[in-house]
Amino acid sequence: MALKIRKLAFALGAEVTGLDLKQKQSDDAIAQIRQAWVDNLVLCFPGQDLGPQEQMAFCSRFGELDDHRSRPHWNRPDFPEVNIVANKPVVIGGKTLQVLIADKWHTDMSFSVRSATASFLLSKTLPPIGGDTMFANMYRAYDALSPSMQAFADTLEGVHDVSLAPDFHRYTPELQAERRRNHPPVVHKVVRLHAESGRKGIFAGGFLRNFIGYTEQESRPLIDFFNTHSTAYEFVYRHAWKQDDLLMWDNRCTMHFAVQDYDCSQLRQLQRCTLFAPVSGRFLDAGQPAAASTGMA
């Protein structure tokens, strides 16, 4: 069966069918998927009931898997490359995994000098209704800025801080300290040039604390503008999950938001793999050693 691509929304998103991802894909199929991913930013592969090893095998065809060494509290004990995203503590192999709630617009691992390229999220258990994920197209957000604002944004560098995570306040003091230790603040350009598409996109999100050379108070209104502007309806696709949907998105040109519009007494559990990006940021404090999360330790 041939691979079929169908757009899901005008702004971004496409569905890919005709593949059984339990099977090893040909190099040609991987190349087609990669092009579809670069073109559509978010891909949905429905009906892919993959185990952790099968998901890792597919995802690793697109780059280097993040072993999540900086975030062990969310990893499967048997396959640390697989994070569990769940709204309740889940026990796997005797290990109780930390809850992860991401109801804030963000780009995965923006608080790392190796911010993620792709994230792959596979739905395993869903609430009866709700629990959608929204995605924003940061190319369109950049393109819609005035030329003057584009020129100004091009000059900015932003500080990304892990302690701005939406569920940071729920962590124990020990876990908060560990998260800060593993991820000291990093600096990224506010406008990124995508290595494969050659397009510019805004790089903002919920981890952005301030701009270099500006106080947090001075930065806040413009950060709020970038985040609000970038998530206007016309730049967003909202995914209503079905069981065994595998989503693959490009963190280099999108943000996402896990909507908490469901009965939170019900379990919502997904499994994630992430790909390391090349080093694209720097530590705010130049004296910082390479964090364990960077894959460079």
Is residue 66 at the binding interface for Fe ion, with CB under 5 A as the rule? no
29 vs 182, beta carbon nearer Fe ion: 182
81 vs 108, beta carbon nearer Fe ion: 108
For residue 17, the cross-strand partners are 4
Binding mask 6-45 toward Fe ion (x if CB under 5 A, else -) reads ----------------------------------------
Site for Fe ion in 208-247 (CB under 5 A): none
CB of 100 to Fe ion, least distance (A): 8
14 vs 109, beta carbon nearer Fe ion: 109
CB of 27 to Fe ion, least distance (A): 29
14 vs 118, beta carbon nearer Fe ion: 118
44-67 in b/e form (b: 16+ CB < 10 A) is: bbeebebebebbbbbbeebbebbb
CB of 24 to Fe ion, least distance (A): 28
With a CB cutoff of 8 Å and minimum separation 6, the contacts of 21 are 45, 48, 50, 54, 58, 246
Stretch that binds Fe ion, among 9-17, 20-28, 73-81, 108-116 (CB under 5 A): 108-116
- Asked whether the beta carbons of 39 and 9 are under 8 A apart, the reply is no
If binding means CB under 5 A, how many residues of this protein chain bind Fe ion?
A: 2
What Cα–Cα distance (Å) separates residue 205 from each residue in 76, 108, 129, 225? 27, 10, 27, 11
Site for Fe ion in 78-107 (CB under 5 A): 102
CB of 272 to Fe ion, least distance (A): 8
Is residue 108 at the binding interface for Fe ion, with CB under 5 A as the rule? yes
119 vs 219, beta carbon nearer Fe ion: 119
Shortest CA distance to 45 belongs to which of 93, 6, 83, 72?
A: 6
- Asked whether the beta carbons of 73 and 179 are under 8 A apart, the reply is no
CB of 85 to Fe ion, least distance (A): 8
CB of 82 to Fe ion, least distance (A): 15
Residues of this chain that bind Fe ion (CB under 5 A): 102, 108
